[in-house]
Chains A and B, each alone.
Chain A
Amino acid sequence: MSERTPMIEMRNVSKHFGSVIALNDISMQVYAGEVMCLLGDNGAGKSTLIKTLSGVHRPTHGELLLDDRPTRFKSPAYALDAGIATVFQDLAMIPLMSITRNFFMGREPTVGWGPMKRIDWKHADRVAKEEMAKIGIDVRDPGQPVGTLSGGERQCVAIARAVYFGAKVLILDEPTSALGVKQASVVLRYIAKARANGLAVIFITHNVHHAFPVADAFTLLSRGGSLGTFRKEDITREEVLNMMAGGAELESLDAELAEFQRSDGEHKRAAAGDEVAPSASSTQAARG
C-alpha cells in the first residue's frame, strides 16, 4: 500500500481568507481506483478543500502533488487539463443552454480548419445522448435546455461530462444530496463504475449511508482541520456517524428524542380519555 503513489496528494495544505483560517494543515492521499469520502458538517471546510484541489483557490501553505509531482494550478482550466474534474454543487450548468452545449462547454469538438472551423454538432449531439444513455438516462432531445431536466439528471450530465473528458481525478461535491432514492443509487452506481475504471474519486457528502457502500477510505473534516483518514475496514458506520456529528451532540439529540416520545405518549393518553367530545364536535362542524 505504501509503495503505491497516490494519484493526488495534499501535504499540509492550509488556506486563509484574510483572518479566517478555512483549512488548517490538511494532508490527504487519494489513489487510482479508489473512492475517498470527504465527510464533515457545514463549515468544516469541504468546499474550500475541493476548490483548492480544482484550482479555484491557491493554497496559502502546503503543496499539492499530482502523480508525485508538485503542482500549482493557476486556474480551474489548468486543473482540468491535468485531469482533475470537479462537479460542483451548482453543477456548472447553464439552464438556458442545451444539454449538448453544456456537455461540451469549454471543450467543443470541431471539424474543418481556419475560418471554417466549427462545432461538430452531429458528433456532439450523438455523444451527449450516448453518454447519458450509459448512465441510464434517456435524453429525448440533446438540444433541449438543461433547465428542463430534473436535478438528478443534471447531476448525471455533469458527471458524465467529467468522465467523458478523461478525468483522472473526479471530485463530486454532494452529488446525491438533492436526489431521490432511485436517482441517488444511479449516481452511486456510477461512482462505483468510475472507480472500477481506475479513476480516483473524491466524494463529498453529508450522508454516511450514501458514503459507506462506495467508499474505500474516509477523511473527516471539522472546523477547517482534519480528524484523520480511516480505511473502510478499520471503521464502522456508527463510528463514522458519531465522529461526523460529534458524539456529544448525538447523545443530546437522543435525550431530546426520548423527551418528545414521552410527551407524545402523554398526549395520546389524554386524547384517549375524552375521545367522544372531539369526534362529536367534528361531526357537527362537518354538518355546519
Chain B
Amino acid sequence: MKSETPSESSSHVAAPQDERIQRIPFWKKALSRPELGALAGTVLVLAFFIVAASGTGMFTPAGIVNFLEVAAQLGIIATAAALLMIGGEFDLSIGSMIGLAGILIAIPAVEYGWPLWAAILLAFACAGLVGWINGNLVNKTGLPSFIVTLGFLFILRGMAIGVSRLLTGRTQIGGIHDHLPGDWFASLFSGEVATGLFAWMASQGWIATNFADNPVVTGIPISIVWWLALTALATWVLLCTPYGNWIFASGGDANAARNSGVPVHRVKISLFMFTAFSATIFACLQVMDTGSADTIRGLLKELEAIIAVVIGGALLTGGYGSAIGAALGALIFGLVQMGIFYTGVNTDWFQVFLGVMLLVAVLFNNFMRKKALEAK
C-alpha cells in the first residue's frame, strides 16, 4: 500500500528506473508483513474444518456466528494486548480485570439500584486507574511488566472476590437483565445488529428459517461488531498515526525512542489503560449477554490473548506485530475451539492443539523476522 506509491510516482516524474531495483513481486512484499503466518494458519485451519466438519452444521449461518462470537470475545482483548506487546510490554492482569469489571458493573446496578450506564462508567473508571497504576509501576520501577502485572493478576482477582463477598455475601450476582431495558449505554454492549437485514434475507429465502418463518440467525452479535471496530481502529492507529509510530518505537528500543523525542512513558501508560479498558468491554459484553457477573470470569484470558497475539505475528520482545494478525489469531482460536466441538473430537485435545499452534507460530515468527532484516 503505502510503499508502492512513492517509488512509482518518482519513477514517472524524474529519475529513470534504477537498474538495481527489481520489481518486487506482490507476494514478496506480503512476506514481510507480520500477519502473514496468521493468515496462512487461518486458511489452513479453515480448510481443515471445512473438510473435517462438513455436514455438521459448523458452516451454517448459526455455526459461523458461533465461532465468530468466540473469536470476537477473545479478539477484543487480543487487539489491546497486541498494541501493548508491540509497545514492548505484557499485561497478565487482563483476565482478572474482566472478573473485577463484571463485579463492578453488577453490584452497583443490582444491589444499590444504580442505572447500568453509571455502573459501566464506574467499571471503566476503575479499569483506567488499574491501567494507569500498571503503567506507572512499570515506568517508575523499571521492573518487567511480566512481574508487575502478575502481581495485579492476583490483586484484582482477590479484590473481585473480596469486594463481592463483603458487599453481597456471594461471588455471583445475577438479575442484570432486569436493568437492561431503556438504558441506551448498556445496549451498546448487548443484542445484535443488522436484524432487519437478516429478516429480509430470510424472507428472500437465502438463509435458514425456523418453524415460525423467523431466521435462525437473527443478526450479528454486537461483540463481533466491537471486535471488528477495535481491530480496524488499532490497525489505523498503528499504520497511519504518529501515536502508532511511537508504539512501534517504544517497543523496538525504548531508549532510542526517548532520545528521538518519543514520550515513551505516556505511550506505555496509555497502552496499559487500553488493555484494562478492553477487559472492561469484554466484561460488559459478557455481563449483558449472560445477565450475571461472576468473580471467576475471565480466568486465563490473559494467556489466551497473548497466544492470539503471538500467533498473529507479534514479537514477544516488542516493536513488531499487527492488530490484524491478532484478530486472525483470535479467529484461529475460535475456529479450533468450535471446530473440535463440531467434529466430535474430545474437547480435551483443544489445549494440546493450542500449545502446538503457539510453538509453531513463534518458530515461524523468528524465521520471518530474520528474513525481514536480510537485504531485499
> Is B a genuine binding partner of A?
yes
Residues of A at the B interface (CB closer than 8 Å) are 54, 56, 75-77, 80-81, 86, 88, 90-98, 101, 104-108, 110, 117-119, 121-122, 125-126, 129, 138, 140-145, 147-148
23 A-B interface contacts by CB (under 8 A): A54-B259, A80-B260, A92-B255, A94-B248, A94-B252, A94-B257, A96-B319, A96-B372, A98-B3, A104-B245, A105-B249, A105-B256, A105-B257, A107-B260, A107-B261, A108-B242, A118-B240, A119-B242, A121-B240, A122-B5, A122-B9, A126-B9, A141-B7
Q: Of residues 1 to 15 in B, which have CB atoms within 8 Å of A's CB atoms?
A: 2-3, 5-7, 9-10
- Picked from A93, A108, A129, A147, the residue with its CB within 8 Å of the CB of B372 is A147
Taking A56-B259, A119-B245 as known contacts, 12 extra A-B pairs with beta carbons closer than 8 A to each other, sorted by chain A number, are A95-B252, A104-B245, A105-B261, A106-B261, A118-B236, A125-B3, A126-B6, A140-B7, A141-B24, A142-B6, A143-B2, A148-B374
A142: chain B residues within 8 A (beta carbon)? 3, 6
A105 touches B2 (CB 8 A): no
B252 touches A76 (CB 8 A): no
B261 touches A148 (CB 8 A): no
* B315 (CB) vs chain A CBs: closest residue: A96
- Picked from A104, A121, A148, the residue with its CB within 8 Å of the CB of B376 is A148
B10 touches A90 (CB 8 A): no
A129: chain B residues within 8 A (beta carbon)? 6, 10
* B375 (CB) vs chain A CBs: closest residue: A148
B71-99, CB under 8 A of A: which get 1 and which 0?
A: 00000000000000000000000000000
B257: chain A residues within 8 A (beta carbon)? 92, 94, 105-106
| Cβ of B240 to closest chain A Cβ, rounded Å | 4
Q: How far is the CA of A261 from the CA of B315 in the complex (A)?
A: 54
A91: chain B residues within 8 A (beta carbon)? 256
| Cβ of B109 to closest chain A Cβ, rounded Å | 31
| Cβ of A209 to closest chain B Cβ, rounded Å | 29
A80 touches B10 (CB 8 A): no
* A140 (CB) vs chain B CBs: closest residue: B21
A96 touches B263 (CB 8 A): no
* A138 (CB) vs chain B CBs: closest residue: B18
Question: What range describes how many residues of B lie at the interface?
Answer: 35 or more
- Picked from A81, A94, A125, the residue with its CB within 8 Å of the CB of B6 is A125
A88: chain B residues within 8 A (beta carbon)? 259
B373 touches A95 (CB 8 A): yes
B253: chain A residues within 8 A (beta carbon)? 92, 94
- Picked from A76, A95, A141, the residue with its CB within 8 Å of the CB of B3 is A141
B10: chain A residues within 8 A (beta carbon)? 126, 129
Q: How far is the CA of A118 from the CA of B233 in the complex (A)?
A: 12
B346 beta carbon closer than 8 Å to chain A: no
- Picked from B5, B244, B261, B373, the residue with its CB within 8 Å of the CB of A76 is B261
9 nearest CB pairs, A to B = A143-B3, A94-B252, A106-B261, A108-B242, A147-B373, A125-B6, A92-B256, A118-B240, A106-B260
A148 touches B373 (CB 8 A): yes
Q: Of residues 247 to 269 in B, which have CB atoms within 8 Å of A's CB atoms?
A: 248-249, 252-253, 255-263
A92: chain B residues within 8 A (beta carbon)? 253, 255-257, 259-260
B269-303, CB under 8 A of A: which get 1 and which 0?
A: 00000000000000000000000000000000000
Q: How far is the CA of A89 from the CA of B235 in the complex (A)?
A: 33
B240 touches A119 (CB 8 A): yes
Q: How far is the CA of A75 from the CA of B264 in the complex (A)?
A: 12
B21: chain A residues within 8 A (beta carbon)? 140-141
Central interface residue in A93, A96, A140, A148, by most chain B CB within 10 Å: A96
